Amino acid sequence: MIYLYEAIGLVTLVLWLYCLFDVITTPDPLCRNLPKVLWVIVVLLAPLIGSIAWLVAGRPERSRAATQPSAFPEYDRPGRFAATNPDDDEEFLRRCRERAEEQRRNAPKKPAEDD
């Protein structure tokens, strides 16, 4: 029976540490229902209930799409959820030009072929 209590205590400690680090590393705007500072206090003061509350009500909703950033950073800009006309977006065009120039500079030089 004593092992059961130790196991429950260990699980609670691991859950509490995970949630505490998760709250701390989550950006402020992504916290739901309470400000980030209050979530830290709730998780610190009520380890088990605060951790469960964070997982249920405070943690940002993860999208089902891949969260990996794309190889093209101009597409990762916040507020760019809908496709727009690229000719109207000066920052998009500037980043595309910068990336193209960087690719030209990094491209290996081909020796001139003599026929």
- DSSP per residue over 49-67, as a string? HHHHHIIIIISPPPPSS--
Q: Which two tokens stand for residue 63?
A: 């999208």
Question: Are 6 and 45 within one domain?
Answer: yes
**Tokens 């920052």, located at residue:** 91
Q: Say if 64 falls within a structural domain.
A: no
Please check whether residue 47 is in contact with residue 12, taking contact to mean a CB–CB distance below 8 angstroms: yes
Question: Are 53 and 83 within one domain?
Answer: no
Question: Are 10 and 54 within one domain?
Answer: yes
Instruction: Please report the pLDDT score of residue 19 as a whole number.
Output: 93
Please report, in tens digits, the pLDDT of each residue of the chain (115 residues total).
Answer: 778 889 998 999 999 999 999 999 998 888 888 899 999 999 999 989 999 999 998 888 776 555 566 666 656 665 555 556 666 677 778 888 899 999 888 887 766 665 5
Instruction: Please report the pLDDT score of residue 73 as a whole number.
Output: 63
Question: Are 88 and 46 within one domain?
Answer: no
Q: How many domains does the chain have?
A: 2
Instruction: Please report the pLDDT score of residue 38 as a whole number.
Output: 93
CA 12 to chain centre: 25
Containing structural domain, residue 102: 73-106
